[in-house]
Chain A
Amino acid sequence: MPLGMHLIQGVVSMANSVLSVKGLSVQFQTHSEKVYAVDNISFDIFESETFGLVGESGSGKSISALAVLRLLPRSAQMSGDHVYFKTQDLLTLTETGMCKIRGRRIAMIFQDPMIALNPVKSIGSQIAEVIKIHFNLTAPDIHDRVLTLLRQVEIPSPESRINDYPHQFSGGQLQRIMIAAALAGEPDLLIADEPTTALDVTIQAQILTLLKSIQDKVGMSLWLISHDLALVSTVADRVAVMLKGCIVEVAPTMQLFKQPKHPYTQTLLAALPSFDSCSADTVLTRNILLEVKNIRISYPVRKGIFNRVVSHIKAVDGVSFSIQEGKTLALVGESGCGKTTLGKGLLNLVADVEGQVLWSGKDINGLKGDSLRRMRSNIQIIFQDPYSSMNPRMLVGQIIDEGMRSLHPQLSAKKRQAKVAELLQQVGLPVECAMRYPHEFSGGQRQRICIARALAVQPKLIICDEPTSALDVSVQDKIIVLLKSLQRHYGISYLFITHDLAVVAEMADELAVMYQGKIVESGPVYQVLNDPQQPYTQRLLNAVPKIVWD
């Protein structure tokens, strides 16, 4: 059946629509005003269909899912024409009636499985709970059912793990367990709210495949909420785009990607990073700025009566690479591979770094006191989370000024002030920002301020630790453009630490892939991305969701 047919049938009859939302609004009452988180949205989800809802953070997509299940916090007020689940209007149903719908008819899984499960109850009992509430089964039957579900979501040896607690599982496994708990009620509709965002790329793909295969088997509808357009495009039949609480466009997936109608959808699509942007003609013949030789960083493990150090966990295990002047080296790896530790190790922010860090041929590893401070102006860092990387009690001007005051004390106050203004302009912010506090800025703007702060001491190398991963796609793109233009202007080098291969393609000249504390593959970006040699790199590349155009 052609995909467009769904839509036509939906308009004609309500017969096969599972969920039909009309005019749903949610508002939050703050001290001074009412804020509409969801503003008059309408959509339908049909039987056995995958419905994607895409929007940036704060656009109200999670709130609308919670509103449908009537799980909003008490400070929220909701209203609407109707929310039909099959024939029942969920807006007028009693709370007891809602309890029979939740988990049984409509189930939901959440973004971060690490906090979405009760930490002090075994995973088996948390799945069994759903069965106990909704079905009248005996204890052994429930136990068998839980085991079947765990097998279905491919948890290895479920018999021995059924009594384990959430903290004993990895993030990917926990999301599988969440799915098992959601499936336990045999629902007609499964709401998946950013089900893969908190997970690594390779695991993201696995979870998505699992969801899709289960949906095929059971025939339920899937409502997938995500900020990732590419990811949604791989699984959804129809996609709705949400902006500031409103649904601006609903269309079958292909149609939306080929002929986006709303300007916002168009900008979203344009902002999607793609692999095509990396160029093959990178010339790598400049001077080597930083050379790292055989670096090891380990954390001690203490045990026994006297708390002796019995072993070490190797976070970084013999890594070597070099960065050329004015070029960008991207360090790619999944969470826990040691890439952030490595970045901090280069800056002396973690203890016990073994090996050589040669800055223009001079070993700077383990420097202390004044000689370390002199080195500081050469290498700077930008952090992932723009919210915690600025002191909330300082003015933006003071924040940018701080480094100059400590590393270039010879500058007069007036000169520094002029420099602050200049830097703000360079990162694309108005000069008046200097007199404001960080909390008045959005994530992207804050990241710009952090860039200005790093630039203030005139570094030759900036370590960018996932500078774009906390930001929305459209903002990500702008930050990368800014970083590239600054590189051209100042000739700075970047060590770009990230998990996002698409960003790498746009940003980097060279690429090093890190896995379990070691670099498994490195080389020019074009070469590694198009012709990966190592199996891990191949897996990583295959897992990246790509928009399917046909």
Chain B
Amino acid sequence: MIQYIFRRLMYTLPLLLGVNILTFFLFFVVNTPNDMARMQLGQKHVTEQAVNKWKVEHGYDLPLFLNTERRSFKQITETVFYQKSIKLFAFEFGVSDSGRDIGADIKQRMWPSLAIALPSLLLGLLVNIFAALMMVLFRHSYLEFWGVVACVVIMSISALFYIIGGQFLFSKLLKLVPISGFGYGIDTLKFLILPIVISVVSGLGSGGRWYRALFIEEVEKDYVVTARAKGLSETQTLFRHVLGNAMIPILTGVVVVLPLLFMGSLIMESFFSIPGLGSYTIDAINRQDFAIVRSMVFLGSVLYVIGLLLTDICYTLVDPRVKLL
């Protein structure tokens, strides 16, 4: 097991290096630091000095890959690539273009993100499974037919509609919950309930449909007939046999996104002004703060890779057929 995890970790290194090089290429080669400086300082009437000053302040004044002015190993370390990209591996995110410490920001902002993303995920999972089970239990009936229709309709509506509509209805008209914002302690719940409900509802369409497909696939397998031939009722078969088997793909699908919950949801957080990583990223995009975007890209891929690893481990725990090699 430990050997396996170690080997998987070794595999992740080239992956992350690939991500790193790709982002580096995007941010520093396609557009040079000079371009960025001009962008930040305004388009017109920028003097050469101002650009250079900005570059020095933000550490972009070094050569990209090889610093020929330095000796031995500083030739490599004193470069933009080393300073800005390699250091990410040690989770040293550096400072943002506006001068804030990105690492500290991330640490502070990931908890609100988690507070909204985790309940949304778990609640959504429960609701989706319940809806799918109901549809499978009453398959070939009108309930299933209209359930599927409802799912298609729900998934055809833009998530933005749920958010805007929900805010309008519950906050503005009914005044049940605040429109947006975030609080701590008991207040949190008040702010969180609407975004959570909305994300559950907007995910119900595709989630319910997908889980139903998984369940139906299992229901048609031979072991279900065996179970029925043993004298189990339809419902017992569904819960004792089908659910367990269908949970394997569902669980592993969920585990992949588990680490990414820290990243939060972009639109949810920005609509509800929740000070999480999602809104942090959006703000950075709107302010064109490249340092933050770059850090978030790297963080996101690290979390995804961890998710992949967790998925593999999870597989071996829930499915007796899978053995780690």
Is chain B in direct contact with chain A in the complex (CB below 8 A)?
Answer: yes
- Interface residues in chain A, defined as those with a beta carbon under 8 Å from any beta carbon in chain B: 66, 69, 71, 74-75, 95-96, 99-104, 107-108, 110, 112, 115-121, 129-130, 133-134, 165, 167, 178, 181, 185, 302-307
Residues of chain B within 8 A of A303, CB atoms compared: 325
Q: How far is the CB of B108 from chain A (nearest CB, A)?
A: 38
Residues of chain B within 8 A of A133, CB atoms compared: 230-232
Q: How far is the CB of A232 from chain B (nearest CB, A)?
A: 22
Residue of A nearest to B247 (CB): A120
Assess whether A120 is in contact with B3, with CB atoms less than 8 Å apart. no
With A118-B244, A167-B320 as contacts: A130 and B231 at CB distance below 8 Å = yes
- Would you list 26 pairs from A and B whose C-beta atoms are within 8 A, ordered by A residue? A74-B140, A95-B234, A99-B233, A102-B228, A102-B229, A102-B230, A103-B229, A103-B232, A108-B229, A110-B222, A116-B225, A118-B226, A119-B223, A119-B245, A119-B320, A119-B321, A120-B318, A121-B244, A129-B230, A130-B230, A134-B231, A167-B320, A178-B226, A305-B3, A305-B7, A307-B7
With A110-B225, A112-B222, A165-B320 as contacts: A118 and B241 at CB distance below 8 Å = yes
Assess whether B223 is in contact with A117, with CB atoms less than 8 Å apart. yes
Residues of chain B within 8 A of A165, CB atoms compared: 320-321
Q: How far is the CB of A416 from chain B (nearest CB, A)?
A: 43
Contact with A along B90-106 (1 / 0, CB 8 A): 00000000000000000
Which of B140, B221, B223, B240 has the most CB atoms of chain A within a 10 A radius of its CB? Answer: B223
Contact with A along B102-121 (1 / 0, CB 8 A): 00000000000000000000
B319 CB–A CB distance under 8 Å = yes
Residues of chain B within 8 A of A178, CB atoms compared: 226
Residues of chain B within 8 A of A66, CB atoms compared: 225
Q: How far is it, in angstroms, between the C-alpha of A497 and the C-alpha of B259 when the chains are bound?
A: 52
Q: How far is the CB of A207 from chain B (nearest CB, A)?
A: 17
Assess whether A129 is in contact with B223, with CB atoms less than 8 Å apart. no
Residue of B nearest to A301 (CB): B325
Q: How far is it, in angstroms, between the C-alpha of A529 and the C-alpha of B226 when the chains are bound?
A: 39
B10 CB–A CB distance under 8 Å = yes
Residues of chain B within 8 A of A96, CB atoms compared: 233
Q: How far is it, in angstroms, between the C-alpha of A102 and the C-alpha of B225 when the chains are bound?
A: 11
Assess whether B244 is in contact with A103, with CB atoms less than 8 Å apart. no
Residue of A nearest to B318 (CB): A120
Q: How far is it, in angstroms, between the C-alpha of A181 and the C-alpha of B232 when the chains are bound?
A: 13
Which B203-239 residues have a C-beta within 8 angstroms of A? 221-223, 225-234
Q: Which of B7, B139, B228, B230 contacts A74 (CB 8 A)?
A: B139
B73 CB–A CB distance under 8 Å = no
Residues of chain A within 8 A of B139, CB atoms compared: 74
Residue of B nearest to A66 (CB): B225
B142 CB–A CB distance under 8 Å = no
Residue of A nearest to B322 (CB): A167
With A110-B222, A112-B222 as contacts: A305 and B10 at CB distance below 8 Å = yes
Number of interface residues of B (CB under 8 A): 29
Assess whether B226 is in contact with A104, with CB atoms less than 8 Å apart. no
Residues of chain B within 8 A of A100, CB atoms compared: 231
Assess whether A95 is in contact with B320, with CB atoms less than 8 Å apart. no
Q: How far is it, in angstroms, between the C-alpha of A342 and the C-alpha of B221 when the chains are bound?
A: 33
With A120-B248, A121-B244, A304-B3 as contacts: A115 and B222 at CB distance below 8 Å = yes
Residues of chain B within 8 A of A129, CB atoms compared: 227, 230, 232, 240
Q: How far is the CB of A146 from chain B (nearest CB, A)?
A: 13
Q: How far is the CB of B10 from chain A (nearest CB, A)?
A: 7
Residues of chain A within 8 A of B229, CB atoms compared: 69, 71, 102-103, 107-108
Which B235-267 residues have a C-beta within 8 angstroms of A? 240-241, 244-245, 248
With A118-B241, A167-B321 as contacts: A185 and B230 at CB distance below 8 Å = yes
Q: How far is the CB of B95 from chain A (nearest CB, A)?
A: 38
Q: A103-B231, A118-B223, A130-B230 are in contact. List 10 more A-B contacts (CB 8 A).
A: A110-B222, A110-B226, A115-B223, A118-B244, A118-B245, A120-B244, A120-B245, A165-B320, A303-B325, A304-B7
Assess whether A116 is in contact with B222, with CB atoms less than 8 Å apart. yes
Assess whether A95 is in contact with B231, with CB atoms less than 8 Å apart. no
With A118-B223, A120-B318 as contacts: A302 and B325 at CB distance below 8 Å = yes
Assess whether A95 is in contact with B233, with CB atoms less than 8 Å apart. yes
Residues of chain B within 8 A of A104, CB atoms compared: 231
Residue of A nearest to B7 (CB): A305
B6 CB–A CB distance under 8 Å = yes
Assess whether B226 is in contact with A116, with CB atoms less than 8 Å apart. yes
Residues of chain B within 8 A of A108, CB atoms compared: 226, 229
Which 9 A-B residue pairs are closest in the complex by CB-CB distance?
A103-B231, A103-B230, A165-B320, A102-B231, A108-B229, A115-B222, A118-B223, A116-B226, A130-B230
Assess whether A117 is in contact with B248, with CB atoms less than 8 Å apart. no
Residue of B nearest to A129 (CB): B230
Residue of A nearest to B140 (CB): A74
Q: How far is it, in angstroms, between the C-alpha of A302 and the C-alpha of B3 when the chains are bound?
A: 14
Residue of B nearest to A106 (CB): B229
Which of B225, B231, B232 has the most CB atoms of chain A within a 10 A radius of its CB? Answer: B231
Q: Which of A112, A120, A302, A306 contacts B320 (CB 8 A)?
A: A120
Residues of chain B within 8 A of A69, CB atoms compared: 229
Q: How far is it, in angstroms, between the C-alpha of A167 and the C-alpha of B226 when the chains are bound?
A: 17
Q: How far is the CB of B220 from chain A (nearest CB, A)?
A: 8
Q: How far is it, in angstroms, between the C-alpha of A295 and the C-alpha of B136 when the chains are bound?
A: 53
Q: How far is the CB of A392 from chain B (nearest CB, A)?
A: 22
Assess whether A185 is in contact with B231, with CB atoms less than 8 Å apart. yes
Residue of A nearest to B224 (CB): A118
Residues of chain B within 8 A of A95, CB atoms compared: 233-234
Residues of chain A within 8 A of B222, CB atoms compared: 110, 112, 115-116
Residues of chain A within 8 A of B228, CB atoms compared: 71, 102
Q: How far is the CB of A162 from chain B (nearest CB, A)?
A: 14
Q: How far is it, in angstroms, between the C-alpha of A107 and the C-alpha of B232 when the chains are bound?
A: 12
